[in-house]
């Protein structure tokens, strides 16, 4: 058993791994014994863990396995971990752990039994860990890997390294930050390409293969991942696809729930349930009147695709306003909470700041009476006062 898995693992380790490390790599505390890395398909979770394996000096102490390997299905995680640690194993990496039944219980047993063994696992962002099964909340350090930020994309496309900035730093000092960045590169020369085909690291494999790979990854989420995790009948997958197409084609505020229910042939309760599932899977983003709580799902104000690259899959000609808002929501959602402002504007962030997103000539007219409000403008290199370039929000991580 272990011999076969070690051969598989050693072959994986010989593969050429990208040298560029995503921002999250330096944020992970690799001293922890149990680490979970969640995220949508294609964001680079496997690459990140293989980069970590490459840095381990004693390769005989490391083992990489995948959740749907026949031996994993037959023997189980605990038996594999037990056999591995008996031959001196120190680091066990389990990729796509969501494909293992009751993996939470197995992880708890491994954690509580083998104190010298580090376990790092990846899982689909659609997986909501069932802490009740094994109380993983106090055992595992969990991290989420989002799509590439615009800052990371620029680092991949240029020889330069760029710092990330907090939202507070951008709001208070965006003019100088933009000037500093412009001394290294011209962001707008890259922005449209990133928005269209640069959110997932596998874009580096070649422009001609990017959209087919993105389509494949997206369809795997819908047709394989979600039915295996949730009680979704396969005949309902087409309803999910129709829902995504309608979200793609509509202005964010034009979504009519009754019309959507009719188009996808689902009742409202089931529709809201599927919206929550699609959001957890990293395919859509729901904007509610409140930044947290069940009301987001029970009364969504706006619906977006998760990121702008997904427009390539679900519709031909998205509206410019929809693209801008989708980028803004994607850029801020990783580190901040977004909600729909009641008194004007497109977004409220952290229940504090109001943002109106538009083109270069967008003014503050609609939000001029609102405190802590800002205009976010596309096609602009440098902003002034409370008018900030849209691209700059791609530097939050």
**CA 278 from centre of chain:** 12
Predicted TM-score (pTM) of this structure: 0.92
* Res. 194: pLDDT tops 80: yes
List the structure tokens of 395: 């530097």
For 364, phi then psi, to 5°, come to -90, 15
What is the percentage of the chain residues whose pLDDT exceeds 90?
71
Q: Alpha-carbon distance 357 to 364, whole Å? A: 10
Measure the CA angle with vertex 293, ends 287 and 370; round to 5°. Answer: 50
The CA distances from residue 317 to 112, 194, 249, 326, in Å, are 53, 17, 8, 14
**Per-residue pLDDT tens digits for 68-93:** 999 999 999 999 999 999 999 999 99
**Per-residue pLDDT tens digits for 132-180:** 556 776 789 999 999 999 999 999 999 999 999 999 999 999 999 999 9
Mean pLDDT, the chain, rounded, equals 91
Q: Alpha-carbon distance 235 to 238, whole Å? A: 6
The CA distances from residue 208 to 43, 152, 155, 278, in Å, are 19, 21, 21, 27
**Per-residue pLDDT tens digits for 274-321:** 999 999 899 999 998 764 544 445 578 899 999 999 999 999 888 899
* Res. 253: pLDDT tops 90: no
* Res. 130: pLDDT tops 70: no
Average pLDDT estimate for 46-56: 93
Q: Alpha-carbon distance 395 to 275, whole Å? A: 28
For 342, phi then psi, to 5°, come to -80, -25
- The pLDDT value recorded for residue 128 is 61
């Amino acid at each position: 058993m272990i011999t076969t898995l070690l051969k598989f693992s050693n072959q994986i380790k010989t593969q050429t791994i990208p040298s560029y490390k995503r921002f999250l790599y330096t944020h992970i505390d690799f001293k922890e014994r149990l680490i979970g890395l969640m995220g949508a398909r294609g964001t680079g979770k496997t690459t990140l863990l293989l980069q970590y394996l490459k840095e381990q000096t004693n390769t005989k102490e490391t083992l990489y396995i995948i959740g749907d390997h026949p031996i994993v299905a037959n023997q189980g995680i605990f038996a594999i971990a037990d056999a591995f640690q008996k031959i001196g194993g120190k680091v066990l990496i389990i990729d796509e752990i969501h494909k293992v039944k009751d993996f939470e219980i197995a992880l708890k047993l491994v954690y509580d039994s083998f104190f010298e063994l580090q376990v790092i696992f990846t899982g689909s962002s659609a997986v909501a860990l069932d802490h009740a099964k094994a109380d993983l909340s106090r055992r595992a350090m969990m991290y989420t890997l989002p799509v590439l930020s615009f800052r990371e994309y620029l680092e991949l496309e240029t020889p330069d390294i760029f710092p990330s900035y907090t939202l507070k730093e951008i709001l208070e000092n965006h003019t100088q930050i933009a000037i500093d960045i412009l001394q290294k590169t011209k962001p707008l020369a890259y922005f449209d390409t990133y928005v269209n085909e640069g959110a997932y690291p596998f874009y580096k494999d070649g422009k001609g293969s990017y959209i087919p790979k993105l389509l494949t990854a997206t369809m795997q989420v819908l047709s394989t991942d979600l039915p295996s995790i949730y009680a979704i009948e396969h005949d309902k997958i087409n309803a999910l696809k129709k829902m995504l197409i309608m979200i793609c084609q509509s202005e964010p505020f034009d979504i009519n729930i009754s019309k959507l229910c009719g188009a996808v042939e689902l009742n409202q309760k089931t529709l809201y349930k599927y919206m929550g599932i699609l959001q957890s899977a990293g395919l859509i983003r729901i904007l509610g009147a409140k930044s947290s709580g069940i009301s987001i799902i029970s009364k969504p104000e706006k619906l977006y695709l998760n990121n702008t690259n997904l427009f390539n899959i679900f519709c031909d000609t998205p509206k410019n306003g929809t693209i801008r808002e989708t980028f803004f929501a994607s850029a801020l959602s990783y580190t901040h909470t977004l909600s729909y402002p009641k008194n004007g504007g497109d977004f409220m962030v952290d229940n504090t700041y109001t943002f109106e997103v538009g083109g270069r000539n967008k003014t503050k007219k609609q939000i001029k009476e609102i405190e802590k409000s800002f205009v976010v403008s596309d096609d602009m290199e440098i902003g002034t006062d409370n008018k900030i370039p849209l691209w700059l929000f791609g530097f939050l991580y």
